[in-house]
Amino acid sequence: MKFIKIDNDSYGTILISWCICAVLIFLTARYIPILWISLPLCIAFVVFMVFITWFFRVPDRSTPEEENSRLVTSVADGKVVIVEKAFEKEYLKRDCIQISVYMDFFDVHCNFWPITGEITYYKYHPGKYLLAFHPKSSELNEHSSTSIRNKHGEVFFKQIAGTFARRIVCYSEPGRIEYRGDQCGVIKFGSRIDLFVPLEADVKVKVGDKVRAIESVLAVLPD
């Protein structure tokens, strides 16, 4: 039997949620004697406990064509909401192709390195908690920025908090070599990823596509 792997940084969140639900179940059972009211409430709390555990799962997936260092795979599960030319002004300071993936409440929220390479830049930005679809959320919301480079090019991405995402975990350390498909962090609750690839990259997705972290190829870097 294969057990679900849980994100290492999320056990505290799960424990707090379970404790709150356990107290609510006790109070409901103790002080609401009407069975047709208390029973559904207790079931709802148990379902929430299961869901919050499942929410922080780490998927067991394989990267496509492991030997191909040109492939850029998705950092997160979700829906592609932006594919356009954009100027990346924080670090790369040049025109790129921006690919944004929105994670809803039911997507896997662990994040994974898009390419194999060296971490060249990392910065955490405190900020607001606008809806992740808001045009200014990429700049104004709390986010972490990372750039990773190999011989084919450099990929820059942001983990962006949303209205309900109040904690971003990022494992980026400049100078370290990381491998595509390994976990690079987690965003707790719904949010989005903005990823920037070179203009010469061959983009493989379009707006509206559903993508899966590790498995879905977003672009191919130039040779």
d(CA 131, CA 137): 7
Enter the DSSP assignment of 215.
T
Q: Reduced to 3 states, what is the DSSP secondary structure of residue 139?
A: helix
For residue 166, which amino acid is it?
R
Nearest CA-CA partner of 113 in 78, 167, 156: 156
CB 222 within 8 A of CB 203: no
- What's the start-to-end Cα distance of the chain, in Å? 43
Active site annotation includes 191: yes
d(CA 42, CA 44): 5
d(CA 220, CA 200): 9
Residue 115 dihedral angles phi and psi, to the nearest 5°: -140, 165
Catalytic residue among 147, 172, 191, 216: 191
Nearest CA-CA partner of 47 in 78, 17, 3, 16: 17
Indicate left, alpha or beta for 175 from its phi (over 0: left) and psi (-120 to 50: alpha): left
Active site residues: 191
